Structure 1
Amino acid sequence: MLCLASFVAIALTVVSAKPLADSLVVHERRDAPPAGFVHSGAAPAEQTLNLKIGLAQSNLPGLESALYEVASPGSAKYGQWLSKDQVAAFARPSDETTAAVSQWLSDNDIDFTAASDAGDWLSINIPVSKANELLNADFSVFTHADSGKESVRTLAYSIPASLQPHIKLFTPTTSFTAPRNSNAIVPTEQLKPSPAAAAAGCSSTITPSCLQSMYQLPTKAATNKTNQIGVVGMDDQFANQADLTQFLKAQRTDISSSTAFGLISVDGGTNSQTRSQAGVEANLDIQYTVGVATGVPVQFVSVGESTKDGSDEGFLDVINAMIALAAPPQVLTTSYGFDTEASLSKALTFAMCDQYMQLTSRGVSILFATGDGGVASTPGVSCSGKPFPPTFPTCPYATLVGATTGSAPETGAALSAGGFSNYFAQQSWQASAVNSYIQALGSTDSGKYNASGRAYPDVSASGENVWIVSAGSTGLVAGTSCSSPIFASVVGLLNDELLNAGKPVLGFLNPWLYANPQAFNDITAGSNPGCGTNGFPAKAGWDPVTGLGSPNYPKLRTAAGL
């Protein structure tokens, strides 16, 4: 992390008058809170807000150009991922930006710290009354109707006009996050105490052996110990070692039942091993990485709640924490996300996407579950008669994983969220595949989606009737939260072989994935209904239910040059 002194030293080189109130200009605004949030009154004046300030980075276009040079199949530099220092050089704010912002904060008697390794994010703790004065804001309490969770937000805020080129955003401000667990999951209390796996076949119960058969995955243990998979855990979800041991005894008798996973803590995140506190989501993610990516070291990335004011900060903090590591896990899978894209400001989504670009430029594959509401993105979203609401992240630097159901052949799961972003444009690497689908779709769902938006999911994997252990009980769960760790395991296994062959890891996946559609099991049946419609139908080639399809490991090996 950059120390505070470095910012102050730069700031002292600039003479700047304290900005006048009339120099403030609106930086972000929304007309009303998103659906599901209710204004509950003014926030207590003395309540402390932890705000992050995203600064303008010095050369993001240069970073994007460098990324595509190393991530595009056929490029002479393909696979030559950037170093931590190389990425930081692109991301570091200019001296002018750092000086201007730090001077403004100092002039207003506000202490700050660096919140990212490159210094492109700052953190301040400030009372509501001071934040309202500084930003000409009206921080208020908003209640999420379904969960009852309260957050302090403002519908608008302003900054000095002279700082607009230097400040991307303050957060959390105009973004409203009702965190979703990407899993349409069976509650723990419905899991049944049973030490053995269900005897049913793969058509009704998915286990690691089913996945090994369906996707032709290797059963021989990986051997490269520099290769890692990171599994993000949030919302006080804890991954339990005793549950993993029980799972391995039942499902992976060919490997040691004492196989363990590591812990990376973000924002003071812990991992309680009290079995009654085991999280269904966390256990699922760990069991279907440790239990599928045989021998690949797995790290549980536990994100604590450093504040009690929403979850968007946790998403930002975890990606900045990974960027700060000298050697982050080469694969990062996240089964949590947001209700809809529209609940977040464009500034926040683009700023977070810029951080994903930084991380994947270093050779990290970033995977997210798409969500479980079909074209509605999340169960319970009210959208009948309205355009389909895309989810976030729809960032092009993340690989988005949808869900299938059944086996031999799989079909698209009805819960699989998919569609088209309203914030991010269609990407060149997906244009041919996506436009072929849109042409085949014809007038179906016309006006319900943004045909020029970034399309998702990119790929899919099994996401229904997945067998797990949690708090000593067993049961079946469903959701794209099953699919993301499964696909992450496939990437981890490929990375092991690549490293052992002296080759670079897969890193930023998307250009490579779309260049190799033949390496997937094409899913041509199923749909993802929602918003009072039948949703999108699965078709030959890419579709918004299953993406390019589910993994075919031997063909992926060939595509990777193995």
Structure 2
Amino acid sequence: MPSMRVHQRRDTPPSGFVKTGNAADDQPLTISLAIKSQDFATLEKKLYAVSTPGQDEYGQHLTKDEVEELVAPSDESASAVKEWLTSHGLSPETASPSGNMLRVSLSVKQANELLDADYATFQDTKSGRQTVRTLSYSVPASVQDHISFVHPTVQFPIYGSSSSQGVAKRQASNLVGRDVPASCADDFTPSCAQQFYGIPSTPIKDTSKHIGAIGVNDQYASEADLKLFMQKYRPDITSAPTLNLISVVGGVNNQSDPGVEGNFVTQWLAGTAPGAPIDYISVGDQDDLFDALVDMTNALLNQTNPPQVIDVSYALPEPFIDEPTASHICQSLAQLGARGITVVAGSGSRGVSGGQDEGQCHVFNPEFPATCPYVTTIGGTNGIPETAWNLSGGGFSIFFPIPSYQTADVAAYQKTIPSSYAGLYNTTGRGFPDISAMAQISDFYLSGELTTPQYTNGGTIISSGIIALLNDELASAGKAPLGFLNPLIYANKDAFTDVTSGDNPSCNTNGFSATTGWDAITGLGSPVYSKLRTAVGL
């Protein structure tokens, strides 16, 4: 018997879960094993080299093969893990294009023996849904240094994860003082966004470059509703919008059951960047966002020509994910960036609390994947002049350190944070968001009816559309797409309108406040398209 070492453990299940009994020995499981990449450090250096203006390699994005070669596990690591699995009579399958993730199907009894675990059934007290997890697992000492994590084990799902959970009457916007029609105060349409941010109204020319939108938790996007939206809000666009399906783990796009998030995101993407084909990335058979993100990134990395801009409007609190899983997902997002793909993530729509009950909120909860330093995170604004949206997420990562592109900005902002906040946030963590845009935007169509979104940050969608339009102009000029944006935007702060007022109160505090310069609720501010054109060399 090999010497076993505890790899991960937790003393109790997370709040909201109760153990209902041991899992049946013959219950089937599919487990994923993440193997450490042999040279992510070089991949990260390459990412910054191709993404930082002024560098010799700026815009020279890596190919699929070049990325995979850097992040593949070493032969030693891959062999050690595979030999361990086959010694238990298991047949591992490669689950990622670089080979840094394996997947095996087995029974609970086999999993308990393989991992020295004790799989049990746990029930979520709010939803009543059940899941199989273990509070501890071990791996042989000979493979521990080669493995990042095994899933599902100690990380529990969060059911009902979404950045929008329903529809309701809109919060008053107080849209005054800007050269936009008065009607924008009640209905911030794509036309309002064009005038407000200087976004061009002309459609995308290069239809070979797509925008991707992720869909999880049975969220679907209706083609019929998309056409209604374009007829109402973009009658100047005569061509029908294109909505494609990228199916991940059996994901579908059920046209008879459209969802709030799926419809809202796809309709506004089409309204902001008309002509760009939209790939709806539907992830099936998943019980939480983190599973979905792992499978989504693997699927996109496996594509030769993935969407050039990917909108991730979902976010969940970092404390609900373990660090190895978060790091693995974040490194996968870095791989996309190195290939010239821009990943845009919402900062969350639950303020600094991350959705905690006020009576139980003792620390601020940053939201993932917004905290990943390799994505561009979008906060929310409201009103004209813009102020910080009071539900916008923001803060500092628990897991990821401050990246070099924002070191000075984070240091300056933290000097303005009240001393009474000591212990509520991580002073050494990656600050987010990076920029912001209007959160509360126009109604959208749901099953043929105009509907008002609630708790949804429209700024993420507007920003994704702007990036797609800039990429289209760059392509026409014979230039490379933007890819990973952050080094560029922090070097061109004058391309954004600074938002200096507003906060996101929660946890019995005023939350973080907007101020001059970068802040942890609106970032560097909202985009000015004409100035961004100049910043990217157009």
Give the TM-score range, shorter chain.
over 0.9
CA contact (8 A) 1:383 1:389 kept: no
1:470 and 2:446 aligned: yes
* AA aligned opposite 1:390: P
CA shift for structure 1 position 164: 1.1
CA shift for structure 1 position 491: 0.5
CA contact (8 A) 2:164 2:260 kept: no
1:401 and 2:383 aligned: no
* AA aligned opposite 2:196: M
Pick from 315, 318, 332 the counterpart of residue 355 of structure 1: 332
- State the Cα RMSD in Å: 1.7
* AA aligned opposite 1:289: L
CA shift for structure 1 position 364: 0.7
1:183 and 2:160 aligned: no
Change (3 A) 1:127 1:444: same
Q: How does 1:94-493 map to 2 (within 5 A)?
A: 94-179=74-159, 180-183=161-164, 185-186=166-167, 201-256=183-238, 258-274=240-256, 277-305=257-285, 309-338=287-316, 340-378=317-355, 380-381=356-357, 384=360, 386-393=362-369, 394-406=371-383, 408-443=384-419, 445-493=421-469
CA shift for structure 1 position 230: 0.6
Q: Per-residue CA shift, 1:493-540, capped at 9, x if unaligned?
A: 110001110111110111111111111121111111111211111111
State the alpha-carbon separation in 2 of the partners of residues 440 and 138 from structure 1: 48
Pick from 74, 78, 95 the counterpart of residue 54 of structure 2: 74
Q: Per-residue CA shift, 1:111-161, capped at 9, x if unaligned?
A: 111101111111111111111111011112222222222221111110000
Partner-residue secondary structure (3-state), 1:201? helix
- Unmatched 5+ stretches in structure 1: 1-19, 189-198
Q: Per-residue CA shift, 1:397-443, capped at 9, x if unaligned?
A: 1221111112x311111110111111111111011111111112342
Q: How does 1:75-90 map to 2 (within 5 A)?
A: 75-90=55-70
* AA aligned opposite 2:430: R
Partner-residue secondary structure (3-state), 2:390? coil
Change (3 A) 1:280 1:175: same
- 2:174 corresponds in structure 1 to none
Change (3 A) 1:482 1:184: farther
TM-score by length of 2: 0.94
CA contact (8 A) 1:143 1:151 kept: yes
CA contact (8 A) 1:249 1:257 kept: no
CA contact (8 A) 1:319 1:355 kept: yes
Partner-residue secondary structure (3-state), 1:264? strand
State the alpha-carbon separation in 2 of the partners of residues 384 and 523 from structure 1: 30
State the alpha-carbon separation in 2 of the partners of residues 544 and 461 from structure 1: 14
State the alpha-carbon separation in 2 of the partners of residues 185 and 24 from structure 1: 47
Aligned length: 525
- 2:531 corresponds in structure 1 to 555
* AA aligned opposite 2:307: P
State the alpha-carbon separation in 2 of the partners of residues 270 and 450 from structure 1: 39
CA shift for structure 1 position 69: 1.2
CA contact (8 A) 1:34 1:342 kept: no
- Unmatched 5+ stretches in structure 2: 170-180
Partner-residue secondary structure (3-state), 2:349? coil
State the alpha-carbon separation in 1 of the partners of residues 358 and 8 from structure 2: 25
CA shift for structure 1 position 479: 3.4
* AA aligned opposite 2:230: L
- 2:505 corresponds in structure 1 to 529
Change (3 A) 1:88 1:465: closer
CA shift for structure 1 position 270: 1.0
TM-score by length of 1: 0.90
State the alpha-carbon separation in 1 of the partners of residues 378 and 20 from structure 2: 36
- 1:15 corresponds in structure 2 to none
CA contact (8 A) 1:205 1:476 kept: no
Change (3 A) 1:480 1:509: farther
Partner-residue secondary structure (3-state), 2:247? strand
Once the two structures are overlaid, the 10-residue window that deviates more, 76-85 or 464-473, is: 464-473
